[in-house]
Amino acid sequence: MKLATFTHDGATRIGVVTGDEIVDLAAAAPGLPPDMVALLAGGAAALEAARKAEARATGRLKLAAVRLEAPIRRPSKFLAIGLNYADHVRESGLEAPAVPVFFNKQTTCVTGPHDPIHLPRVSPLLDYEGELAFVIGRRCRHVSRERAAEVIAGYLVVNDVSVRDWQLRTPTMTMGKSFDTHGPMGPWLVTADEIGDPHALELRTWVNGELRQHSNTRHLIYDCFAQVEHLSTAFTLEPGDVVTTGTPAGVGGAMSPPRFLGRGDVVRIEIEKIGSIENRGARRDGNGGPDMSRDEDRNAKLAAGRGRLAPIKLAHVVRRTSRFDEMLAWYQSVLGADVVHSDGMLAFLTYDDEHHRIAIARIPGLPDQPPLAAGTDHVAFTHADLGDLLHTYARLKSEGIEPYWCINHGPTTSMYYKDPDGSRVELQVDNFPTAEETNRWIRSGDFAANPIGVVFDPEDLLARYRAGEPIEELRERPPLPTGTTPFDMLRF
Ligand code: ZN
């Protein structure tokens, strides 16, 4: 039986999924508990009642008409085990652990099977882990391996989303495993009877349609039953506890070069006999809790003596143009942006959490801009990594948009474009992972000797990237060609 938690007409309740339909248990069996944990706690009798209600139910909803939530929206525990597939241990460059390595995912990170995964503000190292999870159905302690199946209510799919630097810089891993929205699960709980042997299930993870992980739960080092035995040695397991059983090889951070998740990337995890969850990276942070980072006492805000107050970010750039449609299409394409408003006179474009990063204003009859007049030279946009920059370069080239200047400045690898009005746009990536390292390089003397950079051939860089050359080498600024000065590197 597939048990789901779903929202329909603004109300969240539980149901039984059959085919492309769901039976609303609140309607079909009003005597049953209204939430999943209470239903599971009701044991075999409650599940049997749900099964009977499903069989005779007449009012069925189309699955497509409801929103699936995490089957257990706030588990009492959300435990995860690390390094539990030999191939993943190998790709991590570690030894197989002598005891199961359990850690906590905070229960506030739980999110639905189709909900967005938020990109953290503090790190770009966002990664996926496709995993089988089991759900406890019975309060228990000191459960032997042999009897562990009796306390497992069912199974579901989990994406153990991980922020790698935050995960690895402390031994508990808790921080990097618990960012809000980093515990997608579902799409429903499949009861243990329907799964049969949980250690014979195919598991696959795709990112944007590309298969990244493919394994089978028979390769678990500590299987589900061993995990129940180990955990219940120390503490009571309760109905609704979710234990996710580890991930096989193929995580983005272990790829060469690493491929982390960015905005718009879609992770799909499918497990045999259960189904799939699919979650998209989104540039938002927080799952609804109030962000208090800017919430100071308002009189303190106005008090004298606080010194210079800097803005918190650059908000937007407005272009005025007589080529409205052309400019709109150009910025949309070059920045991979969405149009959030356009009335034919004014358009707002966005590609992240800002409501508009670029605005295009139509003013008929404007004169063309004189070349190299005083004013803004260019506006620069930073991509997440070199792969994104090169992919964008190739995509734009196929649309007939080519850079007029590609230069490794030292701190950045940059491609300069001209919009239809001739205004300059720089697409760049930082060559060093932190501002500190950039500053160190700037102080090293290389920058003083050549503050402009060295031009490069984008086709050549793309070919080297595709050939798998390490990022550290690709981003390194080559020496000036002999007989040239930095000023020979300028292009206008
Ligand atoms: Zn994991």
Q: Strands 21-24 and 60-62: what pairing?
A: antiparallel
- pLDDT per residue as tens digits for the range 439-460: 888 888 888 889 999 999 999 9
* pLDDT band at 92; cut points 50, 70, 90: confident
User: 89: CA distance to ligand 1 center in Å?
Assistant: 11
Greater confidence (304 vs 326) lies with 326
CATH numeric code, 315-367: 3.10.180.10
Query: Running DSSP on this structure, what letter comes out for residue 477?
Result: P
CA distance 462 to 464: 5
Distance (angstroms) between ligand 1 centre and the Cα of 12 equals: 28
Please determine, for residue 223, whether its predicted confidence score (pLDDT) is greater than 60: yes
452's CB contacts (< 8 A; 6+ apart) are 407, 409, 486, 487, 489, 490
Query: Ligand 1 centre from 251 Cα, in Å?
Result: 10
Give the count of beta carbons closer than 10 Å to the beta carbon of residue 97. 14
Distance 85 CA to ligand 1 centre (A): 10
Q: What's the CA-to-centroid distance between 491 and ligand 1, angstroms?
A: 48
- What residue ranges of the chain are covered by domains with CATH 3.10.180.10? 315-367
Task: Show the tokens assigned to 151.
Answer: 């306390």
C-alpha 248 – ligand 1 centre gap (Å): 9
pLDDT tens sequence across 326-382: 999 999 999 999 898 999 899 999 988 788 899 999 999 999 988 888 999 999 999
Q: Report the candidate in 144, 146, 76 with the shortest Cα–Cα distance to residue 108.
A: 76
- Give 376-492's CATH code, choosing from 3.30.720.110, 3.40.50.150, 3.10.20.30, 3.40.50.2300: 3.30.720.110
pTM as predicted: 0.64
Residue 308 pLDDT > 80: no
CATH 3.90.850.10 in the chain, residue ranges: 78-282
- Using the predicted structure, report yes or no on whether residue 296 has a pLDDT greater than 60: no
| Banded model confidence at residue 435, pLDDT cuts 50, 70, 90 | confident
Distance in Å, CA 191 to ligand 1 centroid = 22
Q: How close is the Cα of 283 to the center of ligand 1, in Å?
A: 22
> Is the confidence at residue 383, as pLDDT, over 70?
yes
Could you tell me where in the chain the CATH 3.30.720.110 domains are found? Answer: 376-492
Average pLDDT over residues 79-88: 94
What long-range pairs does 363-369 form, CB within 8 A, spacing at least 24? 363/320, 363/321, 363/322, 364/322, 365/322, 366/320, 366/321, 366/322, 368/421, 368/422, 369/421, 369/422, 369/423
In this structure, the number of other CB atoms found within 10 A of the CB of residue 119 comes to 24
Cα of 160 from ligand 1 centre, angstroms: 5
d(CA 478, CA 187): 50
User: What is the phi/psi pair of residue 86, to 5°?
Assistant: -55, -40
The residue type found at 421 is D
Which positions ≥6 away from 390 have C-beta within 8 Å?
458, 461, 462, 465
CATH homologous superfamily of 78-282 equals: Fumarylacetoacetase-like, C-terminal domain (3.90.850.10)
Question: Per-residue pLDDT averaged across 81-102, rounded?
Answer: 91
pLDDT at site 333: 95
